[in-house]
A and B are shown apart, each in its own frame.
Chain A
């Protein structure tokens, strides 16, 4: 099924969770924050949050800035 991650379409397996997505993107060990359908999703809920077609996920991290 297709979901949107950071504005881009991504195909994920059925019955996958946000934790699966974060793992697939190699971000488990990184300092990131996730928004799930515009709501902040706490890290401890990544494993519970199921993904459904059309879901919008934002994953941010820190970059250089002033």
Chain B
């Protein structure tokens, strides 16, 4: 019999079952977005805040497909290069009525999309003061993670690798240091490519994984969404189960006594 564990994920005072957070960008259409999210089992989905197209208003709306009553909507500040723009975007997002949880990203460079850490910290300070539940996207930088935790962020979200790169966790050692010191959830955000990358993040002890391109950019996004769901679950169970230590030499699995001959 399979043992069912009650392993809930607490974030910003809310309880979730799924430890996979997914984005809604880069899908072929809203229907594919909806199906992929369903297959992923995610309960938290990220969205971007953009100007309404006032000249072409025929377009359908993302939230017609992703029901905010069913999913926790996590607006991001993607595309913001200053603390001021990120703060402005968060205020608008909250005004649009999806709560106060925000994914804060202040980008420092177009080519790498690495975060501008001082600007991220400055924005987080203001947003926390204004009552936002801030989830900052950062480098795999333990010092930045600590600062952001101290100033009241709800979680920290170190990148595995550059956004959309699919390189997987490039510095598991830094993620381990972040995990060791953090008392808030650590969510690996960005850079995941394959299901095994998500499993590695969970095996390290991360609370959750956030991804978009790895699913949306796959040849079959629905199948990949399912693979990611299973990888996150498997990685989490593997972490909780406690792996064996790595050793250089063999240890026989079969008894040494009673061998014939």
Q: Which positions in A face B, CB cutoff 8 Å?
A: 5-8, 10, 25-27, 30-35, 40, 42-43, 58-66
Which residues of B come within 8 Å of A, CB atoms?
Answer: 23-27, 30, 33, 46-55, 57, 61-63, 68, 73, 75-76, 78, 88, 91-98, 163-164, 190, 210-213
Q: In the docked arrangement, what's the CA distance between A31 and B94, Å?
A: 11
Contact A62 B48 (CB under 8 A): yes
The CA-CA distance from A34 to B61 in the complex, in Å, is 17
Distance in angstroms between the alpha carbons of A35 and B195 in the assembled complex:
41
- Bound-state CA distance A66–B78 (Å) is 8
Bound-state CA distance A10–B21 (Å) is 39
Q: State in angstroms the CA–CA spacing of A25 and B146 once bound together.
A: 45
A25-B46 in contact (CB<8A)? no
Considering the complex, give the chain A residue whose CB is closest to the CB of B68: A31
Pairwise interchain contact B75-A62, C-beta atoms closer than 8 A = yes
Report the nearest B residue to A58, measured CB to CB.
B51
Docked Cα-Cα span, A54 to B40, in Å, equals: 47
A65: which of B23, B51, B94, B164 is its contact (CB, 8 Å)?
Answer: B23
Which residue on A lies nearest to B57, using beta carbons?
A26
Please report the C-alpha to C-alpha distance between residue A45 and residue B110 in the assembled complex, in whole angstroms: 38
Alpha-carbon distance A64/B24, docked complex (angstroms): 4
Q: Looking at the assembled complex, report how far the CB atom of A12 sits from the nearest CB atom of chain B, in whole angstroms.
A: 12
Not counting A33-B94, A63-B62, A66-B78, a sample of 8 additional A-B residue pairs whose C-beta atoms are within 8 angstroms of each other reads A27-B57, A30-B61, A62-B61, A63-B25, A64-B26, A64-B27, A64-B47, A65-B212
**A23 CA to B211 CA in the complex, in Å?**
36
B52 touches A66 (CB 8 A): no
Q: Considering only CB atoms, which chain B residue lies closest to A7 in the complex?
A: B51
* Pair A33/B93 contact, Cβ less than 8 Å: yes
A62 to B94, CA, bound (A): 11
Chain A residues with CB below 8 A from B213, complex form: 66
Contact A66-B212, Cβ < 8 Å, known A25-B54, A60-B52: yes
Select from chain A the residue with minimum beta-carbon distance to B215.
A66
Q: Which residues of A contact B24 (CB under 8 A)?
A: 63-66
A10 to B55, CA, bound (A): 10
A5's nearest neighbour on chain B, judged by CB, is B54
Across the interface, A62 reaches (CB within 8 A) one of B26, B49, B54, B211, namely B49
For residue B76, give the distance in angstroms from its CB to the closest CB of chain A. 5
Structural contact, B48 and A64, CB atoms closer than 8 A: yes
